Chain A
Amino acid sequence: MAAARMGLKTALITMNLDLIAQMSCNPAIGGIAKGHLVREVDALGGIMGEVADAVGIQFRLLNTSRGPAVWSPRAQCDKALYRVKMREVLEGQAGLHIRQAEVVDLVLEEGQGTRDEGHRRVLGLKLRDGRQLLAGATIITTGTFLNGLIHCGEERYPAGRSGEPASVLLGEALRRLGLRTTRLKTGTPPRLDGRTIKWEMFEEQPGDAEPTPFSFRTKKIVQPQVSCHIAFTTPETLRVIRENVHRSAMYSGQIEGVGPRYCPSIEDKVVKFPDKTQHQFFLEPEGLNTHEVYVNGMSTSLPMEVQWQIVRSIPGLDEAEMLRPGYAIEYDSVDATELDRALCVKSMEGLYLAGQINGTSGYEEAACQGLMAGINAALRVKGEPPFTMDRTEGYTGILIDDLISKGTNEPYRMFTSRAEFRLHLRIDNADRRLTPYGRKLGLIGDAAWAEFEQKQARMTALEKLLTAKKADEAGLRAAGLEGLTSVAGQTWAQLLKRPEVKIEPVLLAVQWTGRPGSGAFGAELPEQDPVERAVFRNEARAVETEIKFAGYLDQQRKSIEKLKAAEGVQIPAWLEYRIISGLSREMQEKLERVRPGTIGQASRIPGVTPAALSLVHVSIRVQGARRPKEASLPG
């Protein structure tokens, strides 16, 4: 999509046209840290946020009891609509050619002569029907399809998703290329028939009254909104699981892949936390036009009849019918330390990988990689330098840096705790951080850019107003803040620094109207659309955040400068680690494997010490000074 929008003739090859953007796990987008990724994709001009907004049936802004840096949007989506909407958007894109076919191999050009020995270039793809498709750059995104193997109790069969064939031939082809691969595992829970659930027995979890959309460009939430429900296991549930745990594919030794610890199967939870007497799960609707219900929290690879017993052990589900059983799936992934920061395979020119194949899990983690790979594939074809993001600029940059520096031994999911500069990487400023890049890359249209600029101007104006205007009696009364002490001569910005002063009443006091045509925040607000209200309030809160927490933000800003300095020291590709005296063999191997691009990245390779970094740093100059002499030698 990104490549097509950047003006290149782009082909999208899929094994089944009807199942593009089929959500294999629960039909929910976003969540803590994942919502940040969606906002970043959107800010760069990606389509995930807009599509999710268009088909979302329950929106919630999570973590609002914490500070603004960790607020994150989540939306339950209509699974069928998501697929339809996504295909509609893709088909509407000029220059994007969608074809159904199975990719079975790569077209390679092997390096000739001594200089290029072992260096390979990918020229395109071979399809199962014998055709070849040549391209300046190739992106592979295999999801869980690469040598996919489904486990359900003792049963197992090759598949990419429930009911869809695995990509076996391409899997074999990639293994032949000699890339380091590992086996990962993930799982899904059973799906139930909503008509057989006694809903009144569960606690209702409605969406937000004022939904927060993902996209900076979304103006309205159009789908009717529904609720999810919260449920708990019973002692009987735990008994059934304990008695049958040996029959789970995870515990019988049938599965070799490593599963994610943050998304364990229900049998895993029971075994690893024997003291916990009940486990929480959620009943989530899969769409508006279906009765199918996703049992979030009950992922399992137990045999079907045991799954049935588990479901029936819960009051309210005692008559529930299971539409599909849960299953575990194993698939191939490539060690992401084989990649550079543009997501290009280092040993294979022109080949980009994105998504689960790089060891991640989740739609959002996949989306940000797909966008970055698409952008960089396009830049390569255009002959322009790659577009990369560092850890200080976004969660996307953190995700890629983590993957290419450390690889992963379980499906990688984003957490806010992975971000050193969490306070700066907020959902409210994703556009300020990234939209200028998106614009430069040609992914942000004129209208969206104009809106972005207006929003920035609005926020600057509000900040100026708060910094300039002193709190007067009338204002304090309007804000209901008469009780505040020592306010003489204080500006509103100074008052906002106090933990007990919030932005909403202050907006009333300074008579901030925000956007043209709308009234002041507060009394006249109910006339506005709920989404507009949410957007307006979040905008004001973003300004509040910058004022209220300026001290913490400054502290992190200093650390960012330090990191930037380390990232500024490039490690040239010709550096030879094995001739650096004093560098231990272990350290040499670690560095050789990743071949970090900067000193900063080298410092994040597990086990690389500050002393080793000093040696590398010095050796860049030492080896660099010797190079011209060697280059002039004959042969």
Chain B
Amino acid sequence: MSEIEDNPIAVDTIAAISTPPGRGGIGIVRLSGPEAAEIGVQLVRLRQPLEHARARLADVLDADGTDAERIDEAMVTYFAAPNSYTGEELVEIAAHGSPVVLELLLRRGLELGARLAEPGEFTQRAFLAGKIDLTQAEAVRDLIDAQTLTQARAAASQMGGALSRRVGPLKQDLVELIALLEAGIDFAEDDVEVTGPDEIARRIGELTPPLEALAGSFARGRIVHDGLTLAIVGRPNVGKSSLFNQLVERDRAIVTATPGTTRDTVSERIALDGIPLELVDTAGLREAREEAEQMGIARSREALADAALVLIVLDSTQSLNAEERELLRAVEGRAALIAANKSDLKSEAAAEMTEFANLPVVATSALTGEGIAELRERIVTLATGGAASEPGMLTSLRHHGAVTTAISALKDASGANESGIPHEMILIDLYRALWALDSLTGQTTPDDILNLIFSTFCIGK
């Protein structure tokens, strides 16, 4: 039964961020398929109704419902089928390139029923709709080709991989439950015992917690996959660049005793405990003395706004100034921590910092290296929300979607079982869960189920 779900030409709606990852001037989330418009209008608050080939202003909201707040402004362009790039209903939402906003739009689109597009899928649809010519089609074929290779590699690594090892036994339990119920239906005339509701409930009950734990591992898993940006901010000459160099373990940023040395942002990719981290060293925040520094400070503020994590560097020998207080207030509620630097010198500001006790504070000395190990640990904790590293965690939105689908299907099956719904309908929910897990580890065919039945039960007369 699973092939239907896997079918690549099924008439579903696909969605993807169709601009390169990272910060750009404009980022676009694109939806294509029969429900593109229907989903699209729910992602934003439009100021005018959609009209073919017209750009419309809209607000991007931080949540559903009436008390949602506006977090960005976007242009929404709708193309009615067949007059679109893909020949299907097509909606493009152009927002201000912040990865956070784009990802929010995408995830809400997926929640509303769109499917994450495969690489090259928009182009493939365009080709199949006759919208692009043969030469372009060859390129599509290469894309699919590449996709095949990637998939093969991914499958190979997954085959012996930790994720399969984790999902495999759960799937096996699910297949066994399905086989039990199927045997009871197809071989009711044989000597097969009918599985009772208590047994079904027990088996579903055993499957759910491990799947929920797996879904929970996504918080860290996704970070491992995508990485995070950490902005190092603070007033001039508190030792941001020295800390940056300590963290990247080489002299990347220029360090002088002169305040305001760092004029532009400097960034470097490192891995902390397996998490890819983009460290951004920024110009010190103060009233700029000259134009170049002014531009540097503007970029610092931009980096601060975009980063998922913020490391505020304070000079522990000095009291907080107005700019620092302002900065600490600005990061309230965000993933941030404080490095109280220059701990090798006499501390003056320690008491004052407890005012911001909700932020973790690490005493560091960029000079001696003291506290750097602890700082690394604290950054990892901050990045993962405390989730520990575990084998076989979920790293992609697609995987996470599959596991949550399986959980919700099992919940439906459990409810159906409680209300005494016949087995062949409970099975619809169970198969939905199975197909979801299939998309992580490979397809289960009806023959696989029959094989299990024949090897488990003495069937036949």
Chain A residues within 8 Å of B, Cβ to Cβ: 31-33, 62-63, 65-70, 74, 260-264, 269, 272-273, 276, 279-282, 296-297, 299, 415-418, 420, 422-423, 499-500, 549, 552, 555-556, 559, 561-563, 565-566, 569, 581-582, 599-600, 603-604, 606, 609-615, 617-619, 621-622, 625
**With the chains together, A499 CA to B197 CA distance in Å?**
15
- Is there an interface contact between A617 and B7, defined as CB atoms closer than 8 Å? no
Decide: B128 and A617 in contact? CB cutoff 8 A: yes
A sample of 10 more A-B contacts (CB under 8 A), given A66-B184, A66-B185, A622-B138, is: A70-B422, A281-B461, A417-B182, A417-B446, A499-B419, A562-B4, A562-B7, A600-B7, A603-B3, A618-B140
Q: Which of B1, B9, B134, B188 contacts A420 (CB 8 A)?
A: B1
Q: Can you name 7 A-B pairs with beta carbons within 8 Å?
A: A272-B458, A416-B424, A563-B4, A566-B4, A603-B6, A609-B151, A614-B147
Bound complex: CA of A296 vs CA of B12, how far in Å?
49
Q: Which residues of B contact A615 (CB under 8 A)?
A: 141, 144-145, 148
Judging by beta carbons under 8 Å apart, are B424 and A66 in contact?
A: yes
Give bound CA distance, A500 to B421, whole Å.
10
Closest residue of chain A to B416, judged by CB?
A552
Q: Nearest B residue to A625 by beta-carbon distance? A: B134
Contact B8 A69 (CB under 8 A): no
Is there an interface contact between B424 and A296, defined as CB atoms closer than 8 Å?
no
Query: With a CB–CB cut-off of 8 A, which chain B residues contact A282?
Result: 461
Q: Are B428 and A32 in contact (CB under 8 A)?
A: no
List residues of B whose CB falls within 8 A of some A CB. Answer: 1, 3-4, 6-12, 124, 127-128, 130, 134, 137-138, 140-141, 144-145, 147-148, 151, 182, 184-191, 194, 419-425, 428, 445-447, 449-450, 454, 458-461
Contact assessment for A263 and B460 in the assembled complex, using a CB-CB cutoff below 8 Å: yes
Residues B428 and A552 in contact, CB atoms below 8 Å apart? yes
Interface contact B7-A417, CB-CB below 8 Å: no
Q: Are B424 and A423 in contact (CB under 8 A)?
A: yes
A-B contact count (CB 8 A): 163
**A417:B4 contact, CB within 8 angstroms:** no
- Would you call B450 and A566 a contact (CB within 8 A)? no
Chain B residues with Cβ under 8 A from A621's Cβ?
127-128, 130, 137
In the complex, chain B residues whose CB is within 8 Å of the CB of A611: 8, 144, 147-148, 151
With A618-B128, A622-B137 in contact, is A417–B450 under 8 Å at CB?
A: yes
Residues of B with C-beta under 8 A to A276:
458
Given A67-B423, A614-B124, is A556 in contact with B189 using a C-beta cutoff of 8 Å? Answer: no
- The minimal Cβ–Cβ distance linking A70 to chain B, given in whole angstroms, is 5
A609 to B442: give the CA distance in the assembly, Å: 10
Question: Is B9 touching A565 in the complex (CB atoms < 8 A)?
Answer: yes
**By DSSP majority rule, is chain B's interface helix, strand, loop, or mixed?**
helix
A612 / chain B contacts, CB cutoff of 8 Å:
148
Please give me the residue from chain A that is nearest to B190 by CB atom: A280
| B428: nearest chain-A partner, CB-CB | A552
Of the candidates B134, B184, B461, the one having the most CB atoms from chain A within 10 angstroms of its own CB is B461
Chain B residues, CB < 8 A from A417: 182, 185-186, 446, 449-450
B458: chain A residues at CB < 8 Å are 264, 269, 272-273, 276, 279
- Tell me how far the C-beta of A625 lies from the nearest C-beta in chain B, rounded to whole angstroms: 5
- Beta-carbon contact of A552 and B425 below 8 Å: yes
Smallest distance from the beta carbon of B115 to chain A beta carbons, Å?
12
Complex alpha-carbon distance, A565 and B446, angstroms: 21
Question: In the complex, what's the smallest C-beta–C-beta distance from B70 to chain A, in angstroms?
Answer: 35
Known: A262-B460, A417-B182. A69 touches B134 (CB 8 A): no
Q: Is the beta-carbon distance between A613 and B145 smaller than 8 angstroms?
A: no
Contact A581 B145 (CB under 8 A): yes
Please state if A556 and B428 are interface contacts (CB–CB under 8 Å). yes
Chain A residues contacting B130 (CB-CB under 8 Å) are 621
Known: A272-B458, A614-B124, A618-B144. A67 touches B7 (CB 8 A): no
Least distance between B299 CB and chain A CB atoms (Å): 42
Name B7's closest neighbour in chain A (CB-CB): A566
**In the assembled complex, which residues on chain A have CB atoms less than 8 Å from the CB atom of B8?**
610-611, 613-614, 617
B186 to A32, Cβ gap below 8 A? yes
Contact among A262, A549, A563 for B454, CB-based, below 8 A: A262
Q: Which of A62, A279, A422, A600 contacts B424 (CB 8 A)?
A: A422
Q: How far is the CA of A69 from the CA of B420 in the complex (A)?
A: 15
Interface contact B188-A561, CB-CB below 8 Å? no
A423→B428 contact, CB < 8 A: yes
Least CB separation from B2: chain A residue? A420
Contact with B7, one of A260, A281, A603, A618 (Cβ below 8 angstroms): A603
Cβ–Cβ contact A63 & B459, under 8 A:
no
Least Cβ distance of A116 to chain B in Å? 31
Report the bound CA distance from A561 to B461 in whole Å.
38
Residues of chain A within 8 A (CB-CB) of B454 are 261-262
Set of chain B residues within 8 Å of A261, measured between Cβ atoms: 454, 459-460
- The complex places the Cα of A489 from the Cα of B6 at a distance, in Å, of 43
In the bound complex, how far is the Cα of B7 from the Cα of A610, in angstroms?
6
Q: CB-CB < 8 A to A70: which residues of B?
A: 185, 422, 424
Q: How far is the CA of A420 from the CA of B144 in the complex (A)?
A: 29
Contacts of A420 in B (CB 8 A): 1, 4
Set of chain B residues within 8 Å of A499, measured between Cβ atoms: 419-421
Point out the residue from A32, A418, A559 that lies within 8 Å of B189, measured CB to CB.
A32
Q: Which residues of B contact A613 (CB under 8 A)?
A: 7-9
List B contacts of A600 (CB < 8 A): 7
Task: State how many angstroms separate the Cβ of B126 from the closest Cβ of chain A.
Answer: 11
Are B9's CB and A569's CB within 8 A?
A: yes
Q: Which 8 A-B pairs have the closest CB atoms?
A: A67-B422, A297-B461, A582-B145, A611-B148, A273-B458, A261-B454, A562-B10, A280-B191
Chain B residues closer than 8 Å to A581, beta-carbon distance:
141, 145
Compute how far the CA of A276 lies from the CA of B458 in the bound complex, rounded to whole angstroms. 8
A31 to B460 CA separation, bound complex (whole angstroms)? 12
Cα distance A70–B189 when bound, in Å?
A: 13
Decide: A67 and B450 in contact? CB cutoff 8 A. no
Name the distance in Å between B323's Cβ and chain A's nearest Cβ: 55
| Closest residue of A by beta carbon distance from B456 | A273
A614 touches B425 (CB 8 A): no
A559 to B12, CA, bound (A): 11
Docked Cα-Cα span, A137 to B141, in Å, equals 42
Instruction: Report B147 CB to chain A, min CB distance, Å.
Output: 6
Q: Which residues of A contact B445 (CB under 8 A)?
A: 606
Q: Whole-angstrom distance from the CB of A597 to the nearest CB of chain B?
A: 15
Q: In the complex, which residue of chain A has the Cβ closest to the Cβ of B149? A: A582
Output the nearest chain A residue to B11 by Cβ-Cβ distance. Answer: A565
From known contacts A417-B182, A621-B137, infer whether A269 and B460 are also in contact, taking CB-CB under 8 Å. yes
Whether the Cβ atoms of A604 and B461 lie closer than 8 Å is no
Tell me the bound Cα distance from A162 to B452 in angstroms.
34
Bound-state CA distance A172–B107 (Å) is: 63
> Which of A555, A569, A618 has a CB less than 8 Å from the CB of B124?
A618
Instruction: Report the nearest B residue to A31, measured CB to CB.
Output: B189
Q: Which residue of B lies closest to A622 (CB)?
A: B137
Check if A415 sits within 8 Å of B450, measured CB to CB: yes
